[in-house]
Amino acid sequence: MRDLVTLENLSAQEMVNLLDLAQNMTEILDRPLKKVPTLRGKAVVNLFFEPSTRTRNSFELAGKYLGADVINVQPSGSSVEKGETLWDTALNLSEMAVDGIVVRHQVSGVPQQLAEILDIPIINAGDGSHEHPTQGLLDVLTLRQAKGRVDGLKVAIVGDVLHSRVARSDIWALIALGARVSVAGPPNLLPDTFEDLGVEVTTDLCEALQDADAVQVLRLQKERQSTGEIPSLWEYRLRWGLTKTSLKCAKPDAIVLHPGPQNRGVEIDSDILDSPRAWILQQVKNGVAVRMAVLFRLLGGGQDE
């Protein structure tokens, strides 16, 4: 494993190794002094072509907690504004004795292409609607902490599935680790190829939630939709939003996940977001631990903490 571009090609054992390592990293996060020297002398570039709060900052903190130097590069203020291509930007940055690049881009496939042209580890921080591998890992880590296992659980992934890179990474991780997955959303936001991935696909929200141990609510990605895909936000909430009423279709102890950022009152109601059923802030904390594990594995060269 030189890069982390997708979870599709990771074996269940490789995922479990990363989850175990991330679980160990949570112990560092609970210390009053969090800095360890594991990646001292290493340099990481966060190259983000799309906005981010959780992923960019948690990669930055993960690198810093492990002792690495981390810089953030965004199109605004860089030579991208003068017309420099992504490839030239990445090539130039890689010449600055950089040990790894974390990249987020609106175009699917960009991290894979960078991995093919650069000889340093490339970590996908979300590419178009393709994948968001560290999100998939932090979601299954949160599920494992909440339920003690992943194998045999049922997870419902609901909402704007079509545009969701999170859904794809979650599905690869959950299926590999033995979970059953159902997906639900409006017909025009449900890819018809998803049944081929081994998941149950339905347009009926309650049917997807039936017997679910966890519900992953996806953000309605208004910025990726052409006009007319959703009649109105009010109607979307009525049929697809996770409300106190619709959550009753899941198991009484089902937990609620959301990758963030949330549209409160659209895909999920505030009273659920702010309830003990929501493990969403735990997902955020686990995001730092998972990114520490990934940086350690790819830049530290070790198999164990």
Secondary structure letter of residue 46 according to DSSP: E
Q: List beta partners, residue 264.
A: 268
Marked catalytic residue, from 55, 89, 134, 202: 55
Q: Which CB atom, from 124 or from 135, has the smaller least distance to ligand CP? A: 135
Contact 157, 209 (CB under 8 A): no
For residue 258, indicate whether it is catalytic: no
Start-to-end CA distance of the chain, whole Å, equals 16
From the CB of 223, what's the least distance to ligand CP, in Å?
Answer: 11
Q: Which CB atom, from 53 or from 188, has the smaller least distance to ligand CP? A: 53
Query: How far is the C-alpha of 266 from the C-alpha of 284, rounded, in Å?
Result: 21
From the CB of 187, what's the least distance to ligand CP, in Å?
Answer: 25
From the CB of 261, what's the least distance to ligand CP, in Å?
Answer: 6
The angle, 0 to 180 degrees and rounded to 10, between the axes of the packed helices 133-147 and 280-295 is 120
Q: Which CB atom, from 89 or from 134, has the smaller least distance to ligand CP? A: 134
Marked catalytic residue, from 54, 224, 251, 285: 54
Secondary structure letter of residue 31 according to DSSP: S
For residue 82, indicate whether it is catalytic: yes
From the CB of 218, what's the least distance to ligand CP, in Å?
Answer: 10
* CA proximity to 201, closest of 192, 188, 211: 192
**99 burial via Cβ count (<10 Å: 0-12, 13-18, 19+):** buried
For residue 132, indicate whether it is catalytic: yes
Long-range contacts at 225-229 (CB < 8 A, ≥ 24 apart): 225/160, 225/163, 229/186, 229/188, 229/189
Q: Which CB atom, from 52 or from 89, has the smaller least distance to ligand CP? A: 52
- What does the binding site for ligand CP look like in residue numbers (CB under 6 A)? 52-55, 126, 132, 135, 259-261
Q: Which CB atom, from 54 or from 64, has the smaller least distance to ligand CP? A: 54
From the CB of 229, what's the least distance to ligand CP, in Å?
Answer: 21
Secondary structure letter of residue 299 according to DSSP: I
Using the CB atoms, write b or e for 24-43: b if 16+ within 10 Å: ebbebeeeeeeebebbeebb
Q: Which CB atom, from 52 or from 202, has the smaller least distance to ligand CP? A: 52
For residue 130, indicate whether it is catalytic: no
Marked catalytic residue, from 105, 132, 258, 291: 132
Marked catalytic residue, from 104, 147, 219, 277: 104
From the CB of 165, what's the least distance to ligand CP, in Å?
Answer: 8
Contact 15, 140 (CB under 8 A): yes
Kindly list the catalytic residues. Answer: 54-55, 82, 104, 132
